[in-house]
Structure 1
């Protein structure tokens, strides 16, 4: 037990206050900058006092930029990747914990290895795969000599091609390959009493009924926590959407927000417009955190058995 001490309480409160100011100051500057006009920023620079142009700048985001469509793309990518990660992680962790096989530990180790190789590290190879998902089949056809036989019969070898770049599926699929969700669900399943499985077998429940009727309701906090984390990761993902989307109509909001900054030398960015875009783009993740915060905390600390 930590003894109560007035001096310790004062120091802790001061540290918390400094941390809050450190976090809120950039947010405050973002809102104040978004509320100023472009001419005001050129004349005065950084603004610490709010202006009266916030609504006008936000309206410009919806009329002069592609951010609304790009936010829809971000919503599709974030929701799709979060749902796919939760479903795949839940099923894989269930198989590893409740279907005990000799190779279960090896499979779990390989899944955890994906954490060591995030998408930003393997972006080049991922791009090559997304450029033609069927390229490994073409390689097998060439190595096995079947392409030579096909060329003799039909006059030309067989080359399969399936390009998923610049599509919603192509933006979502590489984000799903991550093992953190499987690790989270596995740790949750290990906290559940083994007697639940025995009781389900005695009642004649099969694996699917045990998974959906017993394990899934007991794991809803972990499911919600993982969904929030992966949704935020998909919403804020920058490098892969930048590489995989070649048209502005398929880019995500974070990429579109970066594109608002002019690339020409000597051009002064419209900082009020950019900051207004940052405010608009931040509404969705902030709302997600506000609505599911309690599930996020309970799921991460694994307090619900």
Structure 2
């Protein structure tokens, strides 16, 4: 069997973009499993959640926003620190870039390594990487736990409901309309990336999202979920994937198996159920490696570098 192409390097096909209206105030920019962007239009300003990977890609989001409003884009919210979510920020020229303080800590600690790592993993998303300004995307406002903003009469709550995809995960909640923007805490028909995750915490965090009873939800990847039934399906699918990886890895660790064996076993076990999800082959080596770390000796995720990415891939896929 020939070795799989590294990460998403074989994924070069253009994706079909959708700009879905959830309410007069909420839109979802989605592209067949590519990273999503959320848009909230208030009375006097626009908030963008997750920026796309480059300013060049962000221009398409801005074009869609301008088809529905001419209000200024005042706020960019980073649901977490990953490069594909944050490096397009400069295109919006926002007054403020908002993130949780935990996300700021992660940018300080590992932003540079993450940027180099993700550019290597996603050549199609970063093909206009020269449009990214030098340096990193830094928040101008941070919060812990909860921040409420009023866009005129529209209440927007930025909430940390627990660790999952990263330790800094932030969701945006429109309580008046029961619409939630989850970032990568929830995916739909797309494989959760868990290379920087907290497997033990993630299911409870999903329960905390469910407790808000969202009627519509914009996931990190995949189509916008526009009914309570679809929202429940998105939460359940993400929860079962995380639980299935964790159970398989724990079983392997308890049996004294090494990482490569645990990876092969877990891949084979999950492929029938989830193999059709976007980026399954890309995510699985990273997910199982992090899960194995968490089940053995590393409470917190280790830093991925471009070099570590390749060494891990070679070790597990060769």
Same fold (TM over 0.5): no
When Rg is computed on C-alpha atoms for both structures, the one with the higher figure is 1
TM-score by length of 2: 0.24
More helix by share: 1
**Normalised by the size of structure 1, how large is the TM-score?**
0.25
| The structure with more strand, counted as a fraction of residues | 2
Greater length-normalized contact order (CA 8 Å, ≥ 6 residues apart): 1
